[in-house]
């Protein structure tokens, strides 16, 4: 970076901060420390994910502040691969000036890119979405990433055995409690199933899947290859 350059361009995906005495999308280093920019990118300090009405007062230049009128977004990476970051589903983001989004060692010679242990078709690219921002869309969901296996600690059951209403109620309460740890700051959460298998939640004598409604989850039963299920607050 040239030492003579007096500002740092910030590309914000999802919201724009309204800045007092500053140009939008610029944090000028004559007024703010570079550490402020890093804290924003890492959701540290006042920039915790979901924080609202955030005002950053300059400790470098008294009287200068940045007012974020929208909630601070969660900037943690879903998955990283070299110079690009997966945003969920089959979308990724990188910089417009990046010409080679992965090195030659991550290609299988058939026009596909390797992400984790899987190969994906070369993505379609959409540029000019802000200051040096480029979005990528792959031909299938990116399933490798910084994720945690969801385990509600429910007892294993045999598909041929029917649980009693008391056991179903106990399992449902255990599921609700486990899901509370996976909620976003606004009280919502999502479930992603990778691979193929039967996803079902029984509710006593009711049909498969009706238990999802009582748990506050939108869901479908049957074999599936993966997907995202969004819910309302429990």
pLDDT at 229 over 60: no
Q: Read off the pLDDT band of 7 (50, 70, 90).
A: very low
pLDDT at 220 over 70: no
List the single range of 19-23, 59-63, 69-73 with lowest mean pLDDT.
Answer: 19-23
98-128 tens-digit pLDDT: 666 654 455 555 566 777 677 777 677 666 6
Handedness of CA 139, 144, 146, 151 (dihedral sign): positive
Q: Which of 103, 122, 104, 102 is nearest to 112 (CA)?
A: 122
In whole angstroms, what is the distance from residue 93 CA to residue 137 CA? 9
What is the average per-residue pLDDT within 59-68?
A: 84
Q: Which of 18-22, 173-177, 182-186 has the highest mean pLDDT?
A: 173-177
Task: Count Cα atoms within 13 angstroms, Cβ side, for 115.
Answer: 27
Give the model's pLDDT for residue 28: 64
Structure-model confidence comparison of residues 115 and 204, the more confident one: 115
Q: Are 49 and 188 in contact (CB under 8 A)?
A: no
In whole angstroms, what is the distance from residue 231 CA to residue 218 CA? 6
pLDDT at 145 over 70: no
List the single range of 26-40, 88-102, 184-198 with lowest mean pLDDT.
Answer: 184-198
Give the model's pLDDT for residue 190: 57
Across the chain, mean pLDDT equals 63
Q: Which residues of 78-94 are buried (b: 16+ CB within 10 A; e: fewer)?
A: bbebeebbbbebbbbbb
Q: Are 79 and 144 in contact (CB under 8 A)?
A: yes
In whole angstroms, what is the distance from residue 31 CA to residue 35 CA? 12
Give the model's pLDDT for residue 45: 86
Q: Which of 46, 99, 90 is nearest to 68 (CA)?
A: 46
In whole angstroms, what is the distance from residue 148 CA to residue 167 CA? 27
Give the model's pLDDT for residue 12: 34
Give the model's pLDDT for residue 233: 32
List the single range of 53-62, 187-196, 197-206 with lowest mean pLDDT.
Answer: 197-206
Q: Read off the pLDDT band of 134 (50, 70, 90).
A: confident
In angstroms, what CA-CA distances link 103 with 112, 113, 140? 12, 9, 20
In whole angstroms, what is the distance from residue 128 CA to residue 164 CA? 57
């Amino acid at each position: 970076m040239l030492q003579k350059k007096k500002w740092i361009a910030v590309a914000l995906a999802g919201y724009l901060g309204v800045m007092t005495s500053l140009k939008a999308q610029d944090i000028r280093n004559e007024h703010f420390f570079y550490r402020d920019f890093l804290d924003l990118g890492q959701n540290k300090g006042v920039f915790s994910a979901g924080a609202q009405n955030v005002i950053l007062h300059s400790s470098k230049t008294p009287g200068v502040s940045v007012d974020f009128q929208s909630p601070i977004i969660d900037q943690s990476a879903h998955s990283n691969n070299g110079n690009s970051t997966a945003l969920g589903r089959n979308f990724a983001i990188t910089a417009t000036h990046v010409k080679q989004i992965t090195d030659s060692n991550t290609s299988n010679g058939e026009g596909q890119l390797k992400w984790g242990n899987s190969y994906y078709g070369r993505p379609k690219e959409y540029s000019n979405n802000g200051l040096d921002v480029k979005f990528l869309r792959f031909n299938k969901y990116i399933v490798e990433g910084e994720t945690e296996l969801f385990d509600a600690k429910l007892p294993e059951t045999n598909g041929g055995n029917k649980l009693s209403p008391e056991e179903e109620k106990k399992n449902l309460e255990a599921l609700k409690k486990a899901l509370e740890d996976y909620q976003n700051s606004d009280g919502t959460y999502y479930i992603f199933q990778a691979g193929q298998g039967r996803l079902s939640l029984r509710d006593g004598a009711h049909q498969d899947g009706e238990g999802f409604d009582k748990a506050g989850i939108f869901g479908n039963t049957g074999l599936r290859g993966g997907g995202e299920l969004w819910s309302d607050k429990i």
